[in-house]
A and B are shown apart, each in its own frame.
Chain A
Amino acid sequence: MIELENVSKRFDDKTVLDGVTARIGRGEIFAVIGPSGAGKSTLLRLVDLLDSPSGGTIRIDGIDIHAERERSLSIRRMMGMVFQKPAAFNTTVAENIAVGLRFRGAGESVIQKKVEDALDMVGLAGYGEQRARTLSGGEMQRVALARAMVIEPEILLMDEPTANLDPVSVEKIEELVLQINRDHGTTIVISTHDMYQGQRLAHRIGVLMNGGFAQVGSPREVFTLPANQDVARFVGTENVVEGVVVAAEFGSSVVDVGGVRVRARSSFSQGEEVCLCIRSEDIRIAPAAGARGLRGGNILPGTVASISPRGPFSRVTVDCGFPLSSVLSWKVVDDLEIRKGSPVSASFTAESVHVVRATRN
């Protein structure tokens, strides 16, 4: 449905996007995630014809949307967009929602009906006559969503729609996104810097970094098999360490990390510089004495370097020659009498080590 081909965008002398390529299918929820300033908003604005790309093409249903000046209005009218900071037109809520319909010359009775339905959908029935500027941020964002949906767009673009909202409002908006996609089959492109939101909503995720998509894939792929160490760090892989492959055979390898040897599954060959990504959930911590053998796995002795609280858990960092972090419940920390400086062993399977090529910036 939407094809991005080598799209780039420069503002004066600052390159924001450089070679963005992706395909987004009809009816898909596609999340663009990436750190602040990665160009997520710029990309969405290019798709919505609010800006023109400096290079590359954006096609919708095969039409180069920036080349077709004559059709730009009808192309733009295929899409609805919700912005990070919703614009409240200085009038009633109902009129705010009706704007797009008025632009399309809809009749008064149609407008009334559709606006009412839209208000119902976003759970704001009865708010129609209220002044839009009196709404809370969450309510206004729902109005913005209703405003974008009332015109029944084929594509809904959402630019960090929940960035400034409280958790309850975030949940409501997320529910609506899923509901809209399910009920109307709307193709949704949502940008977010919250990778978990991407995970919750998206069929596929594109990780936008350094001007391009570092990885495009299902949430599971992106989280468990990050394409490089930057993606790994961004999607919350706590342990990302660099090393060199010292032995490799039959899809398994031994990687030297600062003198410590780690077994991993990978097809990299000897001498290659690689990066190991190990999710903290996959690392077990045990008192040094109680460490049991782990077939084909890794048991690394070390001392506890730090313990820091993390919600109902504790984040325990062990120095095994390089730092490794794991997450343990408070109870486990107490039971195992883990203290700062305690000798422990960290163990994890070779399968839980995801190896990517080391990239140096």
Chain B
Amino acid sequence: MYEIIEGFVEAARLIVTLDPDVMAIAARSIVISLTATILATLLAIPLGAAINFGTFPGRKSLINLIQTLYSLPTVIVGLLIFLLISRVGPFGSLRLLFTPTAMVIAQTVLILPIMTGLTISALSGVDPVVRDTLYSLGATRLQFLVNIMKEARFAILATVAVGFGRAISEVGAAILVGGNIAASSFGSSTRVLTTAISLETSMGNIPESIALGIILLAIALGVNLAITTVQHR
């Protein structure tokens, strides 16, 4: 019990004094997961729109498949990316393994299905009469899509938040393709909040784990709070 209290006190100290190591890990987490989220958004929105408004055979099955992939285990994604970018893998020559770029790729792949699926839900959730009205006002296909997005913007924003939340909180893929490296330069390191918590806990550094855990929680809650605030405005 004493250890836990001590852990929290030390954690508070690390956060309040802006411990450079802890802050660097938190910042790296945000940069990597945000990049992955932006990438996934750029892919998921056109993809979701194409699937939602498209008519092609197998559309229903595709949506089912995407929904199944929501629960894609992170270590499987990690393993897959690892196999692809390891030196002996097909993309080995790019030397991406154990780099933040690898983590960005893994997280993008990880959150793409859920973001695509939620984009489809967001777009199909737009009142059909809005769609009819847009067409009746003479929208081209592109104007139509842009305006549907505008109408679904809060749902899409929530999708982005979900994607970011899943990206920043996953550990399996991050540790496999990132390697949890603590290098002297910010950009070469691959130690992020989750992998650091995993390592610090295994090494018995409970205060650091708690501090990192609090920050991770704060980021996740903060993002959701921000989204909720925007949605209620």
The answer to whether A73 touches B138, judged by C-beta atoms less than 8 angstroms apart, is yes
In the complex, what residues of A have CB within 8 A of residue B135's CB?
A: 48-50, 76
**Interface size classification for chain A:** 20 to 34
A71 vs chain B, min Cβ distance (A)? 13
Contact mask for chain B residues 120-151; partner A; CB cutoff 8 A; 1 contact, 0 none: 00000001011011111111100100010011
A116 vs chain B, min Cβ distance (A)? 18
Whole-angstrom CA separation of A269 from B60 in the bound complex: 61
The answer to whether A89 touches B136, judged by C-beta atoms less than 8 angstroms apart, is no
Whole-angstrom CA separation of A69 from B27 in the bound complex: 53
Partner of A76, one of B129, B133, B136, B151: B136
**A85 an interface residue at 8 Å Cβ cutoff?**
yes
Partner of A99, one of B127, B129, B137: B137
Whole-angstrom CA separation of A73 from B37 in the bound complex: 36
B180 vs chain A, min Cβ distance (A)? 44
In the complex, what residues of B have CB within 8 A of residue A294's CB?
A: none
Contact mask for chain A residues 23-61; partner B; CB cutoff 8 A; 1 contact, 0 none: 000000000000000000000010011100000000000
B199 vs chain A, min Cβ distance (A)? 46
B100 vs chain A, min Cβ distance (A)? 37
Whole-angstrom CA separation of A87 from B138 in the bound complex: 15
A61 vs chain B, min Cβ distance (A)? 17
The answer to whether B137 touches A50, judged by C-beta atoms less than 8 angstroms apart, is no
Q: A87-B127, A89-B150, A90-B151 are in contact. Are A103 and B132 (CB under 8 A)?
A: no
Q: A90-B151, A99-B147 are in contact. Are A85 and B137 (CB under 8 A)?
A: no
Contact mask for chain B residues 85-108; partner A; CB cutoff 8 A; 1 contact, 0 none: 000000000000000000000000
Whole-angstrom CA separation of A79 from B139 in the bound complex: 12
Partner of B151, one of A49, A89, A147: A89
Whole-angstrom CA separation of A209 from B129 in the bound complex: 25
The number of residues on chain B lying at the interface, defined by a beta carbon within 8 Å of a beta carbon of chain A, is: 17
Return the chain A residue nearest B130 by Cβ: A87
Partner of B147, one of A89, A147, A151: A89
Question: A residues 246-291 with Cβ under 8 Å of B?
Answer: none
Q: A87-B127, A87-B129 are in contact. Are A73 and B140 (CB under 8 A)?
A: yes
In the complex, what residues of B have CB within 8 A of residue A151's CB?
A: 137-138
Partner of A148, one of B127, B130, B136: B136
The CB with the most chain B CB atoms within 10 A, among A100, A144, A147, is that of A100
The CB with the most chain B CB atoms within 10 A, among A87, A103, A151, is that of A87
Whole-angstrom CA separation of A76 from B144 in the bound complex: 13
The answer to whether A99 touches B134, judged by C-beta atoms less than 8 angstroms apart, is yes
Return the chain B residue nearest A51 by Cβ: B132
**A350 an interface residue at 8 Å Cβ cutoff?**
no
The answer to whether B143 touches A103, judged by C-beta atoms less than 8 angstroms apart, is yes
Whole-angstrom CA separation of A86 from B129 in the bound complex: 7
A88 vs chain B, min Cβ distance (A)? 9
In the complex, what residues of A have CB within 8 A of residue B153's CB?
A: 90
Interface contacts beyond A76-B135, A86-B133: sample of 18 additional A-B pairs, CB < 8 Å, sorted by A = A49-B135, A50-B135, A79-B136, A80-B136, A83-B132, A86-B129, A87-B129, A89-B133, A90-B150, A90-B151, A91-B150, A99-B134, A99-B137, A102-B143, A103-B140, A103-B143, A147-B137, A157-B136
Q: Which 9 A-B pairs have the closest CB atoms?
A: A81-B136, A100-B137, A77-B138, A87-B133, A87-B130, A87-B129, A103-B138, A103-B143, A103-B139
Name 12 interchain pairs, CB-CB below 8 A, sorted by A.
A49-B135, A76-B135, A77-B138, A80-B137, A81-B132, A81-B136, A87-B127, A87-B129, A89-B150, A89-B151, A99-B134, A103-B140
